[in-house]
Structures are given as C-alpha cells and as structure tokens.
C-alpha cells in the first residue's frame, strides 16, 4: 500500500509528461533534462534527478521525433529514471546504471505503447468517418488526449512498481566497483550523444570543423577547471 501510494504522484507526473511528447502541448517539458529533474524534485532531490536527466538527454539526442517515425517515449521514461535514482542511497555504486537501464527500457515500452495508442485512435477515427461533425471531431480529440494521459500514467506506474523493489534487490547484491559502474554508463551516454550530434550537424558545410573546434574548447575548459 505504501509503495502504491508513493508511486501515485510519480505516475501522474509521468502521465503529464507522456502527454507532452506528442499530444499536448509539445513544449518539451518531457525532455529528460526537465522531466527527470521534476521527478527528482518530487521525491526530494532535483540534483540527482538532473544527473540522470543529463545521461538520458545524451541518449535522447539520437532519436528526434521526425514525422511519423517510431521513437522512444522520453517523458515517462525520464520520470522513472529520475525517481529511481533519487530514491537510492547516494553511495550506491550501481544506482546510476540500474536507473538509466530502467529508463531506457521504459522509453522502449513507451514508444511501443504510443504506436498501439495511435492504432486505437485510428480505429475510432475510421468508425467516425461516415459522420464527421464538430461533435465527433471534438470527441475524438478529447478521447485521444485522455487516453494518452492514461497511457503515460499506467506505463510509469507499472514500471516503477516493478523496478523500485527490483532496483533495491539488484543494488543489495551489487559487486562491481562503483567508479567502474558509473564510468560505463557515462561512456555509453557520451558515445551515443557524440554520434548523435555528429549525425545531426555534419551535413552542414564546415559544421564538422566547428564541432571539432567546440570539442577542443570544451576540453580546454575541462583542463582549466
């Protein structure tokens, strides 16, 4: 009962942010940088939420929501990642790996659920085709928005219900070095993010040189810090 009660506000946040991905208002509050920070804030630690958000944002740069393509759903996924990481003890070595893994699995499940949701709406739209009226259009629009909200809530709630106890078990038996565990996650995210930036920008004239110049500047800032 306590677990369900603690998940409820997070599920509602996941629903709101899942809605933002496509349905309303597409203001990108569902991007990991924002969504995971909000989830962290909801469980009392926005700083740790942001940390997961940064890692997930690097992954999210790879899959941009072009047209009717299929892509992961980062809104609910970031809530799962941010909440999971923020509720683990700070010294836990594998917490980042487990939280990011849970978020990526949720992103994949969210992408799949969005496709199913769109098929459901299509079925309703086809059924309405004989009599397109203002009422039928408004009804379909409201049904689409409401069902997307419910989709996000169910997804976030179910994944947290599964992963909150599972993460506890996994971290209790975690034997790998804490530094290595963190390094693996960061290197993976950096690789995906770096490739994504290259893929998005390299077609523009001189952009590869600008990217390399930026890398040099960023590295200088690291050394200077």
How far is CA 50 from each of CA 20, 33, 88, rounded to the nearest angstrom? 19, 6, 14
Q: Is 148 in the site for other proteins (CB under 8 A)?
A: yes
- CA dihedral 26→32→38→42, nearest 10 degrees, is 130
Is the distance from CB of 3 to CB of 161 less than 8 angstroms? yes
Q: Is 162 in the site for other proteins (CB under 8 A)?
A: no
Of the residues 51, 84, 109, 153, which one makes contact with other proteins according to CB under 8 A: 51
Structural tokens at position 89: 């003890």
Supply the minimum distance, in Å, between the C-beta of residue 4 and other proteins.
26
Whichever of 51 and 153 has its CB closer to other proteins, that residue is 51
Residues between 89 and 128 with contacts to other proteins, criterion CB under 8 A? 90-91, 93-94, 96-98, 100-101, 104-105, 107-108, 118-119, 121-122, 125-126
How far is CA 125 from each of CA 17, 122, 223, rounded to the nearest angstrom? 25, 5, 58
Stretch that binds other proteins, among 6-14, 87-95, 151-159 (CB under 8 A): 87-95
CA distance 18 to 63: 16
Residues between 22 and 41 with contacts to other proteins, criterion CB under 8 A? 22-29, 31, 33-34, 37-38, 40-41
């Amino acid at each position: 009962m306590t677990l369900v009660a603690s998940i409820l506000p997070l599920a509602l946040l996941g629903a709101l942010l899942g809605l933002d991905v496509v349905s309303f208002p597409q203001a990108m509050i569902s991007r990991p940088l924002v969504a995971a920070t909000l989830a962290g804030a909801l469980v009392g630690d926005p700083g740790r939420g942001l940390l997961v958000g940064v890692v997930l944002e690097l992954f999210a740069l790879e899959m941009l929501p072009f047209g009717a393509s299929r892509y992961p759903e980062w809104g609910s996924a970031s809530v799962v990642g941010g909440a999971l990481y923020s509720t683990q003890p700070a010294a836990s070595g594998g917490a980042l790996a487990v939280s990011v893994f849970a978020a990526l699995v949720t992103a994949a499940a969210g992408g799949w659920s969005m496709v199913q949701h769109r098929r459901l709406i299509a079925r309703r739209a086809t059924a309405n085709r004989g009599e397109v009226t203002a009422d039928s259009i408004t009804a379909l629009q409201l049904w689409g928005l409401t069902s997307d909200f419910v989709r996000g809530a169910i997804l976030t709630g179910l994944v947290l219900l599964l992963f909150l106890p599972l993460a506890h078990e996994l971290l209790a038996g975690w034997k790998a070095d804490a530094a290595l565990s963190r390094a693996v996650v960061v290197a993976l995210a950096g690789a995906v993010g770096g490739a994504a930036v290259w893929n998005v920008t390299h077609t523009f004239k001189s952009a590869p040189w600008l990217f390399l110049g930026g890398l040099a500047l960023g590295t200088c800032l690291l050394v200077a810090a």
